[in-house]
Amino acid sequence: MNGEYLIAILVPLGGMAMLFGLFYLRNRENMSMIEKGMNPKEFANRPAPYRNLKWGLLLVGAGLGLFLAYIMHNYVLHIDDDNPVMYFSLLGICGGLGLITSYWIEKKQTLDKE
């Protein structure tokens, strides 16, 4: 019973502390940039040309991982009980492979421009 009250108090306090920390650190970063003579607004709006590619390959990899886990669960291994470890591991592995593929494509494109 006491644990429920403790969680009900600590979770909102932790969330507020996290938000305060994020805003505090962003303010300190902006102040240090101003002291060095830089404009913080220039760095806030940097273009990210490969953002959609990165997210697309991450989601395709995650979907492929879930599909492979489903196929292995139902047709290859014939497991009767739920095995969430296989789903999460293939999700992480294939999502990571998607991010690595995105990195290779970005690297190739930037080297071709030079």
CA dihedral 22, 26, 29, 30 (to 10 degrees): -170
Report angle CA 95, 66, 80 to the nearest 5 degrees.
145
Question: 76 with 50: CB under 8 angstroms?
Answer: no
* CA-based torsion, 5, 9, 11, 14: positive or negative: negative
Q: In Å, how far from its chain's centre is CA 72?
A: 26
pLDDT of residue 61: 94
Per-residue model confidence (pLDDT) at position 97: 95
Q: What pLDDT sits at residue 27?
A: 94
Local confidence pLDDT in tens for the 114 residues of the chain: 577 888 889 999 999 999 999 999 999 999 999 999 988 888 777 677 888 899 999 999 999 999 999 898 888 887 777 778 888 999 999 999 999 999 999 899 888 876
Q: What is the pLDDT of residue 62?
A: 94
Q: Residue 86: its pLDDT value, please? A: 87
What's the rounded Cα separation, in Å, for the pair 9 and 31? 33
